Amino acid sequence: MDERRARPFADRVERRRRTTVRRLAPEQRVRTFDEVTLPYSPADARREAARCIQCARPYCEAGCPAGSPIRTWIRLVARGDLIGAYRALRAASNLPAICGRVCALERQCEGACVMGRKGEPIAIGMLERFVADDAISRGLSAVRRPSSGRRVAVIGSGPAGLTAAGDLAELGHEVTIFEALPVLGGILAWGIPRFRLPRHALEAELARLAGMEVLLQPGTHVNIDSGLTALFRAGFRAVVLCVGAGRARALGIPGEGLPGAYEARDFLMHASRGTAWRATPAALPAPGARVAVVGGGDTALDVARTAVRLGAREALIIYRRTEAEMPARADERARTWEEAVVLRESTVPLAVVGDARGRVIALECLRTVPGPRDATGRPRPVAVPASRFRLPVDAVVNATGFLPDPWIARLGVPVNADGTVCADAEGRTSRAAIFAAGDVVRGPDRVVTAIADAKRAAAVTHEHLARPAL
């Protein structure tokens, strides 16, 4: 074949492969909390953006819950216009450096990318974080309209609260964020570990909010019944509830209260700060411990990988179904197994076993097999008779999921059976001037959906604030 005919073919084949994503080697990463996935260089980013074929119908955009104008900003990256790309990105998400790192890309934008049909999809997440990190390094703009003189309280500082606060502040409202914990950021601060989400993106957004005179009040728990009335009396014209879903779902097995049996939230909080933010039953497991983590989602993986970095001798994930049914992202699962975390699939815990002094010494379990499909469409795990066995472990962490706090029922608005607040698609509750967004409405979900909800809730809160006071 002559050179001219061979080249386009080689280009097409080349275009099917994404620009290599580099990561810290497993043996290096398990000794630090440094970010595992390394950034694209400017040349890498441009090369990857140039792979995008700029579809007439961008399926990737339909795959993004926040409706990011992906085709547009990728075109701008390919042209080298990073500031323009960032402006386009920001239209859909206030936290693109975070979305680029933690979104379930393979089920969202990248999963819908047509390049994935005959090769590898465009590395949209890598490009998103590249553009956002570049903007952070230049300093994020904190421009707001002239003050409206209207005060609004945002309760909770997770991705929903930060987004609602940012949008309302840009519109000129006087925003205060009340956060129960001593740190701001919700799960972005205490939950998702730094090796997946370095803190600079969160810190940059907090600095931007402070630059728009948003009052940040960490360590301030608002009582949902009396506290809200007090806020309105104090002159707040609207409240946006972004309190998440922070109550652990109990395992409901004997021994759950033993020292050495943890809730994922307490474990991750301890690990992220090295200190207790809440009364917790015990300090973190000692280095050399064998740690069993019960669950199959992002949280279980994060706990197990954190345990490894804290020096666990062994970290096991106990999951009642098979790996194919795990809700955790495939990409993060691959990283987790590389770090020598062991999956015990088709296994349910029956009891946390303690010794005479009450210290955890084992997790008693039962084997399961896949049964008929349940409401989630996945095979229901069915217990295998007489399959009890004991895993010798020193600590057990419950990472089976979260629910909204029960006090939310005192809000005086209808609450669903699972404890989530009833709100319409824009975040209006049945109480005038009270709006809600994020996990408190959806139940435990994702960062990008919390952001998208909060943008809609901020828009209707703005409409409410624009009306004359009664």
Q: Which of residues 291-320 bind ligand FAD (CB under 6 A)?
A: 298-299, 302
Q: Which of residues 256-295 bind ligand FAD (CB under 6 A)?
A: 268
Q: Which is nearer to ligand FAD, 52 or 197 (CB)?
A: 197
Q: Which of 222, 403, 411, 421 binds ligand FAD (CB under 6 A)?
A: 222
**Min separation Cβ 245 and ligand FAD, Å:** 7
Q: Which is nearer to ligand FAD, 243 or 363 (CB)?
A: 243
Q: Which is nearer to ligand FAD, 183 or 391 (CB)?
A: 183
Secondary structure class of 216 (helix, strand, coil): strand
237, two tokens: 């014209």
Q: Which of 110, 439, 458, 465 binds ligand FAD (CB under 6 A)?
A: 439
Q: Which is nearer to ligand FAD, 222 or 423 (CB)?
A: 222
**Min separation Cβ 454 and ligand FAD, Å:** 7
Please identify, among the stretches 11-19, 70-78, 383-391, 436-444, the one whose residues bind ligand FAD according to the rule CB under 6 A: 436-444
Q: Which of residues 375-414 bind ligand FAD (CB under 6 A)?
A: none
Q: Which is nearer to ligand FAD, 192 or 434 (CB)?
A: 192
Strands 347-354 and 360-373: antiparallel
Alpha carbon distance 164, 217 (integer Å): 15
Q: Which helix (H) or strand (E) holds 454?
A: helix 447-466
Q: Is 436 in the site for ligand FAD (CB under 6 A)?
A: no
Angle among Cα 453, 456, 459 to the nearest 5 degrees reads: 150
Please identify, among the stretches 85-93, 377-385, 386-394, 446-454, the one whose residues bind ligand FAD according to the rule CB under 6 A: 446-454
Q: Which of residues 79-108 bind ligand FAD (CB under 6 A)?
A: 102-103
Q: Which helix (H) or strand (E) holds 247?
A: strand 247-248
Q: Which of residues 144-183 bind ligand FAD (CB under 6 A)?
A: 155-161, 178-181
Q: Is 446 in the site for ligand FAD (CB under 6 A)?
A: yes
**Min separation Cβ 368 and ligand FAD, Å:** 24
456, two tokens: 């809609």
166: Cβ contacts below 8 Å, ≥ 6 apart? 94, 205, 208, 209, 212, 214
Q: Which is nearer to ligand FAD, 121 or 156 (CB)?
A: 156
Q: Which is nearer to ligand FAD, 61 or 362 (CB)?
A: 61
Please identify, among the stretches 6-14, 48-56, 60-68, 443-451, the one whose residues bind ligand FAD according to the rule CB under 6 A: 443-451
Of the candidates 104, 60, 68, the one whose C-alpha atom is nearest the C-alpha of residue 446 is: 104
Q: Which residues of 319-342 are buried (b: 16+ CB within 10 A; e: fewer)?
A: bbbbeebbbbbeebbebbebbebe
Q: Which is nearer to ligand FAD, 368 or 420 (CB)?
A: 420
DSSP β-bridge partners for residue 396: 261, 292
Of the candidates 74, 109, 108, the one whose C-alpha atom is nearest the C-alpha of residue 88 is: 74
Q: Which is nearer to ligand FAD, 361 or 454 (CB)?
A: 454
Please identify, among the stretches 9-17, 270-278, 355-363, 433-441, the one whose residues bind ligand FAD according to the rule CB under 6 A: 433-441
Binding mask 32-51 for ligand FAD (x = CB under 6 A): --------------------
Alpha carbon distance 272, 364 (integer Å): 29
Q: Which of residues 186-205 bind ligand FAD (CB under 6 A)?
A: 186-187, 191-192
Alpha carbon distance 108, 66 (integer Å): 10
Q: Which is nearer to ligand FAD, 12 or 221 (CB)?
A: 221
DSSP codes, 359-410? -EEEEEEEEEEEEEE-TTSSEEEEEPTT--EEEE-SEEEE-S-EE--GGGGG
Q: Which of 244, 255, 285, 354 binds ligand FAD (CB under 6 A)?
A: 244
Q: Please give the C-alpha separations between residue 156 and each of 147, 263, 308, 438, in angstroms, as whole numbers.
A: 23, 21, 30, 10
Backbone angles phi, psi at 372, to 5 degrees: -65, 155
**Min separation Cβ 423 and ligand FAD, Å:** 12
- Give yes or no for a contact between 183 and 163, defined as CB atoms under 8 angstroms apart: no
Strands 314-318 and 290-294: parallel
**Min separation Cβ 190 and ligand FAD, Å:** 7
Q: Which is nearer to ligand FAD, 120 or 445 (CB)?
A: 445
Token pair 């994060």 is found at: 302
Q: Applying CB under 6 A, what is the total number of residues that bind ligand FAD?
A: 37
Alpha carbon distance 44, 122 (integer Å): 12
The residues that touch ligand FAD, with contacts defined as CB under 6 A, are: 102-103, 155-161, 178-181, 186-187, 191-192, 221-222, 224, 242-244, 246, 268, 298-299, 302, 438-440, 444-448, 450
